[in-house]
């Protein structure tokens, strides 16, 4: 591949490439990346940016990590891909074994898939087919929370916030689901029992139709970066048990240490019937996700009408992705990641706290390696993003939120560069 001159690269990008959540031609600047290493992105224009996004929260060990690179090199010499139907391979088997060992004990079986959205689709299909296998095909719907986000595919969109979420344009094309009010009690606030009332009322009213409850534990991510009380998790688990309803937890954003626990459900602690994982699973090296479930659920499929679970991605359990993911988990286990995340949280809290006094700021909140500055008004991305680049950092705000979810390997001076840039840019907002 011959490198293109910068102007030609950008011109071709604007002519042919459709970027996520963007129009054509792209509005605002596009920043071409030449290489990435550690916590840094190097642009074609020469700037070196501290990445405060971990590439949408996935690259928890940064870029070009030698252990992940070596795992990829070793695997690619054996095979980069092989179909998973009727075949198996060591990277997938060992990765499944590790995921079962790390997640709560009732979760025993792993279905590999390609992305977080697909992991959610798989979870929802599992729940519907499970009830069909048990002779209750009327249980086709889902109970979820407002202000939630679960992905961009159709079933996943149907359980995202139907009014304030990014998918409201598709409401008429989506299957209608049931939405409880979002939790109001914050993570560190005193618990108020009425916070669970909306969820309890809907589950009681529609219990015969609901296949599962599905939501993000502790952190509502792309729907608003909101942190809520662990007691909500416990109460939902109790209600699902009482009404014989499955519980799906979407830990695609929170899994593998981001909140300070290995999995956010540990704050309950609760165990879901179905668990969705993605993003940090491969350390951001390749797209890979997984849906885990219990033996009680999986054993019904052989006896059901179909006799099998009706799903099978072409690139399911890609050996290259599985090999890198396994080494990523080995790497995570090789150091005190919890101590590292706690240090990041302490620094974020101290250095973002002054933002609370700025006129443009509504709230500042921190949980684990997540720091959020919520504004009164939405940001103008075309204006704000170049300001962060000028400060030497990469952040991707959305709506009224300026936030950082950095790699765990970030050092205090690098994190300080991010928090200082946030304070500087926010101070200039009106």
The domain that holds 192 is classified in CATH as 3.40.640.10
Residue 1 has pLDDT above 90, yes or no: no
Q: Which of 21, 77, 336, 357 is catalytic?
A: 21
Residue 309 CB contacts under 8 Å (≥ 6 apart), including other chains:
111, 125, 126, 129, 301
Q: Are residues 320 and 366 in the same domain?
A: no
Q: Are residues 81 and 217 in the same domain?
A: yes
Mean per-residue pLDDT, 367-381: 97
Q: Which of 267, 279, 403, 408 is catalytic?
A: 279
Residue 275 within any structural domain of the chain: yes
Residue 320 has pLDDT above 80, yes or no: yes
Could you tell me which of 240, 289, 230 has the C-alpha nearest to residue 265?
230
Tokens standing for residue 36: 């990435």
Residue numbers of the domain that contains 106:
69-333
Residue 45 CB contacts under 8 Å (≥ 6 apart), including other chains:
6, 31, 32
Q: Nearest-5° angle of CA 313, CA 254, CA 387? A: 105
Q: Nearest-5° angle of CA 280, CA 218, CA 298? A: 65
pLDDT at 166: 72
- Final residue before a domain boundary, out of 274, 301, 333: 333
Q: Are residues 223 and 297 in the same domain?
A: yes
Catalytic: 279?
Answer: yes
Considering only 22-26, 115-119, 380-384, 421-425, which range has the smallest mean pLDDT?
A: 22-26
Calpha distance 393→16 (Å, rounded):
27
- Final residue before a domain boundary, out of 333, 351, 379: 333
pTM above 0.85, yes or no: yes
Pairing status of strand 48-51 against strand 40-43? antiparallel
Mean per-residue pLDDT, 340-355: 98
- Final residue before a domain boundary, out of 301, 333, 365: 333
Q: Which of 51, 161, 195, 250 is catalytic?
A: 250
Q: Are residues 252 and 351 in the same domain?
A: no
Residue 122 CB contacts under 8 Å (≥ 6 apart), including other chains:
111, 113, 276, 291, 311
Q: Are residues 47 and 183 in the same domain?
A: no
Mean per-residue pLDDT, 96-123: 97
Catalytic: 228?
Answer: no
Q: Where are the beta strands (DSSP E) in 243-392?
A: 246-250, 274-277, 289-294, 361-367, 370-375
Q: Are residues 114 and 235 in the same domain?
A: yes
Catalytic: 130?
Answer: no
Pairing status of strand 289-294 against strand 274-277? antiparallel
User: Which pLDDT band holds residue 28 (cuts at 50, 70, 90)?
Assistant: confident
Residue 11 within any structural domain of the chain: no
Residue 413 within any structural domain of the chain: yes
Calpha distance 389→396 (Å, rounded):
10
Q: Which of 130, 149, 403, 408 is catalytic?
A: 149
pLDDT at 163: 81
pLDDT in tens, 126-170: 999 999 999 999 999 999 999 999 999 999 999 999 887 777 788
Calpha distance 398→25 (Å, rounded):
20
Catalytic: 21?
Answer: yes
User: Which pLDDT band holds residue 104 (cuts at 50, 70, 90)?
Assistant: very high
Domains contained in the chain, number: 2
pLDDT in tens, 260-296: 999 999 999 999 999 999 999 999 999 999 999 999 9
């Amino acid at each position: 591949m011959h490198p293109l001159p910068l102007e030609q690269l950008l011109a071709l990008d604007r002519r042919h490439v459709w970027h996520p959540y963007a129009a054509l031609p792209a509005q605002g600047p596009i920043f071409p990346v030449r290489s990435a290493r550690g916590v840094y992105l190097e642009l074609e224009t020469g700037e070196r940016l501290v990445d405060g996004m971990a590439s949408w929260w996935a690259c928890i060990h940064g870029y070009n990590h030698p252990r992940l690179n070596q795992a990829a090199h070793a695997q690619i010499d054996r095979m980069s891909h092989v179909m998973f139907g009727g075949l198996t391979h060591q990277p997938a088997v060992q990765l499944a074994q590790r995921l079962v060992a790390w997640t709560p004990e009732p979760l025993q079986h792993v279905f590999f898939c390609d992305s977080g959205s697909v992991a959610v689709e798989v979870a929802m299909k599992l729940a519907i087919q499970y009830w069909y296998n048990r002779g209750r095909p009327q249980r086709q719907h889902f109970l979820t929370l407002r202000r939630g986000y679960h992905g961009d595919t159709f079933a996943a969109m149907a359980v995202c916030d139907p009014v304030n979420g990014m998918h409201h344009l598709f409401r008429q094309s989506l299957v209608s689901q049931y939405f409880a009010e979002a939790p109001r009690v914050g993570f560190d606030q005193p618990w108020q029992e009425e916070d669970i009332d909306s969820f309890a009322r809907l589950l009681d009213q529609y219990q015969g139709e609901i296949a599962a409850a599905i939501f993000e534990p502790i952190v509502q991510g792309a729907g608003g970066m909101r942190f809520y009380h662990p007691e909500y998790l416990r109460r939902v688990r109790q209600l699902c048990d009482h009404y014989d309803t499955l519980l799906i937890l979407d830990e695609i954003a929170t899994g593998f240490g981001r909140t300070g626990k290995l999995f956010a459900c540990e704050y309950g602690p609760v165990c879901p019937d179905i668990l969705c994982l993605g993003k940090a699973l491969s350390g951001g090296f390749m797209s890979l996700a997984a849906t885990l479930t219990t033996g009680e659920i999986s054993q019904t499929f052989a006896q059901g009408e179909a006799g099998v679970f009706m799903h099978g991605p072409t690139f399911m359990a890609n050996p290259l992705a599985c090999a890198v993911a396994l080494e990523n988990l080995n790497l995570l286990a090789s150091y005190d990641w919890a101590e590292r995340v706690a240090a990041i949280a302490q620094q974020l809290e101290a250095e973002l706290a002054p933002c609370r006094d700025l006129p443009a700021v509504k709230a500042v909140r921190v949980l684990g390696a997540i720091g959020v500055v919520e504004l009164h008004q939405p940001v103008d991305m075309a204006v704000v993003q170049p300001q962060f680049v000028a400060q030497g950092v990469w952040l991707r705000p959305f709506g009224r939120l300026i936030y950082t979810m950095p790699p765990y390997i970030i050092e205090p001076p690098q994190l300080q560069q991010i928090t200082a840039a946030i304070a500087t840019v926010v101070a200039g907002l009106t």
